[in-house]
């Protein structure tokens, strides 16, 4: 067994190797069904919020389940929630809606700014029927999604290391760059990337 840890050296130029979808693929989009659900939940609690609410999906989210942007009355959810369950989508929607409601009430009272998951938010959760909601914005099953999925291997010395994501920049083996190239990056020691099959 080899316990030596592979160390990296980053190259100066951005990697060309990893194809990214077109930017439009990544853009946020509103969801009228989610908006209607949020509006119906808030229609008696804060009817003045109903025409301002914007609810949708943000495909750029990684481990965050959802966010509430109270200055614009926006709620954005992570599309990965759809792969878990409808109940998880709804729970996250109401969690974020409770943030908007708590901040909205705060503005009207001009009291000190509430804590993100403080008593005002907890009250809003009760009013929205999700008393005891957990104070997390992380996706459930995050551990599974964070499993190491790529192996980086030095083509010269053969050292390898597992990573969750592909590095955004070119990476070379630090030990080999030091040994053979004065500690500077060289393509010859650029790490090879292998996808680890689950
Ligand atoms: Zn929250
Ligand atoms: Zn090496």
- Residue 13's pLDDT band, with cuts at 50, 70 and 90, is very low
| CB burial readout 23-33, b (16+ within 10 A) else e | eeeeeeeebee
Topology classification of domain 31-140: Zincin-like (3.30.2010)
- Residue 121's pLDDT band, with cuts at 50, 70 and 90, is very high
Q: Which ligand has its closest atom nearest to the C-alpha of 64?
A: 1
Separation of 13 CA from ligand 2 center, angstroms?
20
Average the pLDDT over 85-93 and give the result: 91
Separation of 172 CA from ligand 1 center, angstroms?
40
Average the pLDDT over 158-169 and give the result: 84
> What residue ranges of the chain are covered by domains with CATH 3.30.2010.10?
31-140
Q: Residue 94's closest CA among 168, 174, 166, 37?
A: 37
Which residues are close to ligand 2, an ion, with C-beta < 5 A?
A: 154, 156-157, 173, 176
- 176 sits in which H/E element: helix 174-181
Separation of 186 CA from ligand 2 center, angstroms?
11
Give residue 106's pLDDT. Answer: 84
Separation of 172 CA from ligand 2 center, angstroms?
8
- Residue 18's pLDDT band, with cuts at 50, 70 and 90, is very low
Enumerate the β-bridge partners of residue 195. 150
Average the pLDDT over 173-195 and give the result: 92
Q: Residue 152's closest CA among 115, 106, 89, 194?
A: 194
pLDDT at 159 over 70: yes
Q: Which ligand has its closest atom nearest to the C-alpha of 9?
A: 2
| CB burial readout 80-99, b (16+ within 10 A) else e | bbeebeeebbbbbbbbbbbb
Which segment of 11-15, 106-110, 116-120 scores lowest on mean pLDDT? 11-15
pLDDT at 29 over 70: yes
Give residue 133's pLDDT. Answer: 85
Q: Which ligand has its closest atom nearest to the C-alpha of 160?
A: 2
Average the pLDDT over 11-21 and give the result: 42
Separation of 99 CA from ligand 2 center, angstroms?
50
Q: What is the pLDDT of residues 58-79, one digit of tens each?
A: 988 888 899 999 889 999 999 9
């Amino acid at each position: 067994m080899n316990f030596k840890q592979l160390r990296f050296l980053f190259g100066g130029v951005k990697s060309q190797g990893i194809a990214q979808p077109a930017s439009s693929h990544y853009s946020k989009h509103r969801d009228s069904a989610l908006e209607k659900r949020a509006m119906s939940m808030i229609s008696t609690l804060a009817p003045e919020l109903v025409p301002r609410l914007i609810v949708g999906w943000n495909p750029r989210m990684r481990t965050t389940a959802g966010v509430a942007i109270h200055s614009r009355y926006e709620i954005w959810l992570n599309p990965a929630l759809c792969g878990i369950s409808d109940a998880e989508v709804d729970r996250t929607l109401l969690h974020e809606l409770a943030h908007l409601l708590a901040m909205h009430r705060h503005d009207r009272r001009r009291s000190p700014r509430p804590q993100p998951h403080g008593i005002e938010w907890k009250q809003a959760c009760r009013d929205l029927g999700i008393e005891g909601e957990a104070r997390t914005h992380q996706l459930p099953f995050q551990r599974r999604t964070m499993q190491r999925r790529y192996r980086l291997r030095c083509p010269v010395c053969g050292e390898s290391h597992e990573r969750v994501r592909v590095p955004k920049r070119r990476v070379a083996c630090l030990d080999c760059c030091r040994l053979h190239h004065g500690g500077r990056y060289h393509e010859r020691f650029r790490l090879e990337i292998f996808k680890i099959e689950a």
